[in-house]
A and B are shown apart, each in its own frame.
Chain A
Amino acid sequence: MSDAFSVSIQAEDFDVNAELRKLGQHSLQTGAVVNFVGLVRDSNDGKTISAMELEHYPGMTESTIEEIIEQASQRWTLSGVRVIHRVGPLLPGDQIVLVAVASKHRGEAFSACEFVMDFLKTKAPFWKKERTSKGEHWVDARDSDDSAVSRWK
């Protein structure tokens, strides 16, 4: 995978502006940069969340996301994709994930960004554990994520 297409799995927070600037600069043919940032919310299903823990499968997270990026590049003409996903302990308001896509025109960038996020949600081996006043529990996978992915067939 070239420099312009990359994924990082890390505990540290990321700087969205710095990432977008770097992504846009890989090619002077880039006319569009689109991004998504996922954040930790403080409530889910009626429960107040005080903290979240992100577990992952080292190695498989990277290779799965690289495959998703590869599929996006085959489907649309892109000049770059940057994915960062945090792991470990997080608090409400924290950034969890960045998906950013660069392309010549905005159509591809918008579509590819959504595609990468939809597949990341259903394929990348991460698991969220929420801490609430009632204790800790693992988050359940959502049917809506499976439906989102099926529209790309």
Chain B
Amino acid sequence: MVDVLFFASIREQLGTDKIALDLADQTMSVNEVKQHLIKTYGQEWEGALFAANIINAVNQKVVDGDYAVSNGDELAFFPPVTGG
């Protein structure tokens, strides 16, 4: 399974903080995972997932939309950070 995590305003917009996604033995790019989530959960998810400033992280490192994801990975989507 891929653990897909959502934080902050993205979590609130989508109404969930975590989804488990089974890719079996496939590999998908981050963008393909987003498309898959939109198909599965509804067109309303597109605005949040394809927002210009969304940040993607795989296994806790920031990556771009082409990065490959497979079962066992942790994928997170979050807005620009505001700590400190």
Question: How many A residues have CB within 8 A of the partner chain?
Answer: 28
Residues of A within 8 A of B9 (CB): 127, 138
The reply to whether A54 and B60 form a contact with Cβ atoms under 8 Å apart is no
Give chain B's interface secondary structure class.
loop
Q: Is B5 an interface residue (CB 8 A)?
A: yes
Q: Are B84 and A127 in contact (CB-based, < 8 A)?
A: no
Q: Tell me, in angstroms, the Cα distance from A123 to B80 when the chains sit together.
A: 9
Contact between chains at B60 and A140 (CB < 8 Å): no
A104 contacts B by Cβ under 8 Å? no
Cβ-defined contact, B7 with A57, below 8 A: yes
Q: CA separation between A138 and B60, bound complex, in Å?
A: 22
Which of chain B's residues have a CB closer than 8 A to the CB of A59?
60
Q: Within the assembled complex, what's the spacing in Å between the Cα atoms of A59 and B74?
A: 11
A95 to B41, CA, bound (A): 40
- A60 interface contact, C-beta 8 A: yes
Q: How far apart sit A124 and B62, CA to CA, in the bound complex (Å)? A: 11
- CA A138 – CA B81 in complex, angstroms? 10
Chain A interface SS verdict (over half):
mixed
- Distance (Å) between the CB of A152 and the closest chain B CB? 15
B60 to chain A: which residues have CB within 8 Å?
57, 59-60, 63-64
Chain B residue nearest to A123 (CB atoms) is B81
Is B67 on the interface with A (CB-CB < 8 A)?
no
Question: Please, what's the 1-or-0 string for B12-56, where 1 marks a CB less than 8 Å from any CB in chain A?
Answer: 000000000000000000000000000000000000000001000
Residues of B within 8 A of A (CB): 5, 7-9, 53, 57, 60, 76, 78-84
What are 18 A-to-B residue pairs whose CB atoms are below 8 Å? A38-B84, A55-B8, A57-B60, A60-B76, A97-B84, A121-B83, A121-B84, A124-B83, A125-B78, A125-B81, A126-B81, A127-B7, A127-B8, A127-B83, A128-B83, A140-B80, A141-B53, A141-B79
Q: Residues of A with Cβ closer than 8 Å to B?
A: 38, 54-57, 59-61, 63-64, 85, 96-97, 117, 120-129, 138-141
